[in-house]
Amino acid sequence: MGEDESSAIPEESAGSTAGSTLSDLFRSVARRLRRATAEALAPYDITPSQARALGVLRRDGDMRAGALAARLGIAARSATDVLDALAARGWAERVPDPADRRATVVRLTPAGRELGEAIRAARAAEAESFFAGLDEADRAELRRILLLLAG
């Protein structure tokens, strides 16, 4: 999809990003948000993929590795690597699936649950800081637009 003049942000409303297209601005904001997230995760010495896996397991409970991979939108092999790293650090463990003893599920250890909650709180604080310049109406409008774009 090409970008025309109508997708450029007017100079007077964009400050130093004058002339930037919507996609340029979106990428710039996404980069800033990724940097802020990385800074929020730094004290925990955990990768973004590991943090996402902890978050899914914290919210949704025990699950098979394949289900976790699907929730994270990654290949099963990548999920195995993430889970191996979490298990090596004592944050998750593989246990027999109560519904099928031939299979295993992944569950958080108490340390993993505690870490997951600490990361959730840190990311919430980081997000609040990141979006602090927006009032409630702007936040609601941004959410509405992002939901449209997310499809």
Look at the domain 18-150 and name its fold: Arc Repressor Mutant, subunit A (1.10.10)
Spatial distance between the Cα atoms of 71 and 29, rounded to a whole number of angstroms: 24
| pLDDT tops 50 at residue 14 | no
Question: What pLDDT, in 10s, does the model give residues 85-126?
Answer: 999 999 999 999 988 989 999 999 999 999 999 999 999 999
Domain chopping of the chain, boundaries? 18-150
**pTM, two decimal places:** 0.76
Question: What pLDDT, in 10s, does the model give residues 46-69?
Answer: 998 999 999 999 999 999 999 999
* Structural element, H or E, at residue 104: strand 100-108
